[in-house]
Amino acid sequence: MKQTIFASLSYAHKKKQTRREKFLNEMDQVIPWERLCAMIEPHYPKPTPARGGRKPLPLVTKLRVYCLQQFYDLSDPGAEEALYDSESMRRFAGIELCEDAVPDESTILQFRRLLERHQLTQTLFETIKAYLSERGLVIRQSTLVDATIIHAPSSTKNQAGKRDTEMSQTKKNNQWYLGMKAHIGVDGTSGLVHTVVGTTAKAADIRQTEHLLHGEEQVALGDAGYHTSDRTLDSPAPEDGPCIVTQFKKPPGGELSEADRAFNRQLASLRAKVEHPFRVVKRQFGCTKVRYRGLAKNTARLFALFALANVFMARRDLLACAG
């Protein structure tokens, strides 16, 4: 049993619970820690404690620290400093200063690279998706598809003296952006993400459509960037996939009819759920820029972010089931 220091006792008896504490307490209750640890365990090196030293941190502690990095957009050094600075983060990670060693930045880095090397963030995403599906939170009748740009730094003031070669530029609303794209397929009923694809920014949205469908939906909703002429409601029923419903585009030199504008407004209200995961990842978790160089590392991060975003969006239902 861990020894509790006076500072921790004082913290436990304070009068007000902060928003950070409430958020971390809820996420602690709804994340399936045992499943995730069992998924990572076969790839995790067996601990060999040094003679006379402190015992190594358990796998679940490192996984919890990794989740903190995603929640608060922390670098490896930033995560180490946050653990020293925040009692609520230490409690979430299960670390007591007088008993446990706070993982340093190299330990946090090694665990992150372990997840990337074995593509475990994608497995983490699938594990959480299965966990939510078992609780009836994913209904596979329709899919909403969309993409968002994750910015990359344009500066060349680095050791290589150039930009990340795996990032590219794209133009949106007469403005150029450098970075990558996060493409997602979202369940039309629950609003939970079932598919994630990371590409360079210049990749066309419509080319990722097939990768964002799970194959069981009857209809897919997208914006004008996903329009295809052979699967719309006006075309014969497709034999190898769902109908794809997209917004009407303004004809060259003309205007949309009132009926077309009304259809676009109705479709936009149905598609609104696809924006919720982006809001969580970009605003709640703070992922507005890439953190690493290269698509592989940043795509691995996207899988972890959207997996945790799913848990966050479903937390009230999960807490009700647990209660």
Domain ranges (residues) in the chain: 6-118, 139-293
pLDDT for 229: 56
Q: List residues bridging with 169 in a β-sheet.
A: 178
Torsion angles phi and psi, residue 194, rounded to 5: -110, -15
Tokens coding 235: 């075309």
Q: How far is CA 17 from the centre of its chain?
A: 26
The answer to whether 275 and 146 have CB atoms below 8 angstroms apart is: yes
The answer to whether 287 and 281 have CB atoms below 8 angstroms apart is: yes
Quote the CA–CA distance of 233 and 244 in Å, as a whole number: 7
pLDDT for 1: 45
Walking along the chain (323 residues) 10 residues at a time, the average pLDDT comes out as: 55 76 96 96 78 71 97 96 94 86 93 96 96 87 92 80 87 90 94 96 90 87 74 54 77 82 86 94 95 94 98 94 71
DSSP state of 289: B
Amino acid (1-letter code) at residue 158: N
CB atoms within 10 A of CB 287: 23
Quote the CA–CA distance of 56 and 208 in Å, as a whole number: 43
Question: What's the Cα-to-Cα distance from 236 to each of 157, 206, 221, 263, rounded to whole Å?
Answer: 54, 20, 17, 20
Quote the CA–CA distance of 183 and 199 in Å, as a whole number: 8
| Torsion region of 279: left, alpha or beta (phi above 0 gives left; psi -120 to 50 gives alpha) | alpha
Q: Would you say the pTM of this structure is higher than 0.85?
A: yes
Handedness of CA 272, 274, 278, 280 (dihedral sign): positive
The answer to whether 242 and 213 have CB atoms below 8 angstroms apart is: yes
Per-residue pLDDT tens over the stretch 116-150:
999 999 999 999 999 999 998 887 788 999 999 99
The answer to whether 159 and 247 have CB atoms below 8 angstroms apart is: no
β-strands 243-245, 175-187: how paired?
unpaired
Closest by CA to 115, choosing from 105, 124, 104, 127, is: 124
The answer to whether 125 and 302 have CB atoms below 8 angstroms apart is: no
